[in-house]
């Protein structure tokens, strides 16, 4: 979980803070030479989302920034439309965290005229909703509320994620 932050300025409907940006590629291994080996990212957390169909891992950087690296799981169509638009991969989404519950977040966004989609509370450690790129000037925005136990990896490594053996792993190694 992120550190406490300053009180919300008067008039802002969401108490949001930037969390990370996500880059998708057909293979996470193709992203590691740049984001880990060249830029110095250190493994933060990761795993498979079998329900949706992707593997992701986050790297943290000096100064507190994080980047998430995504790849489709075998047989998944989750990133197909993204790769049709961006065959080489690239920026997939930007994530902001909120403290209030998702119902209040969605009500606030809709009250401001935004159309939300993909709301999910399936994972108790990660409630989320999205603003489509048409709603957010060309960028998919993920707005999430982390649960109390969401945080850095404990008891597994980047190699475990790539092997598909991290928590929630599908058992199939990354290519």
Q: Which two tokens stand for residue 31?
A: 């992203």
Cβ(17)–Cβ(2) below 8 Å: yes
Model pLDDT, residue 1: 37
pTM: 0.89
Q: Which two tokens stand for residue 153?
A: 């990896």
Q: How big is the CA angle at 79 (ends 102 and 160), to the nearest 5 degrees?
A: 85
Model pLDDT, residue 57: 97
Alpha-carbon dihedral angle through residues 165, 167, 170, 173, given to the nearest 10 degrees: -30
Model pLDDT, residue 149: 83
Query: Which residues on adjacent β-strands are paired with residue 57?
Result: 46, 69
Q: What's the number of CA atoms in the CB half-sphere (13 Å) around residue 40?
A: 5
CA distances from 119 to 20, 55, 64, 164 (A): 19, 19, 27, 26
Digits of tens for pLDDT over the chain (175 positions)? 344 445 545 556 788 999 999 999 999 999 999 999 999 999 999 999 998 999 999 999 999 999 999 999 999 999 999 999 999 999 999 999 999 889 999 999 999 999 999 999 988 889 999 999 999 999 999 999 998 888 899 999 999 999 999 988 999 999 9
Model pLDDT, residue 4: 45
């Amino acid at each position: 979980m992120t550190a406490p932050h300053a009180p919300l300025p008067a008039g802002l409907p969401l108490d949001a803070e930037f969390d990370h940006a996500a880059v998708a590629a057909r293979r996470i291994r193709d992203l590691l030479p740049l984001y880990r080996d060249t830029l110095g990212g250190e493994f933060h957390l990761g795993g498979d989302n079998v329900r949706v169909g992707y593997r992701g891992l986050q790297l943290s950087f000096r100064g507190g920034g994080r980047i998430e690296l995504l790849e489709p799981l075998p047989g998944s169509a989750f990133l197909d439309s993204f790769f049709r638009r961006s065959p080489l991969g690239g920026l997939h989404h930007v994530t902001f965290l909120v403290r209030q519950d998702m119902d209040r977040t969605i009500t606030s966004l809709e009250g401001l005229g935004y159309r939300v989609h993909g709301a999910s509370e399936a994972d108790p450690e990660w409630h989320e909703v999205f603003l489509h790129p048409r709603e957010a000037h060309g960028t998919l925005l993920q707005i999430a509320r982390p649960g109390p136990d969401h945080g850095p990896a404990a008891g597994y490594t980047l190699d475990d994620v790539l092997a598909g053996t991290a928590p929630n792993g599908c058992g199939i190694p990354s290519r």
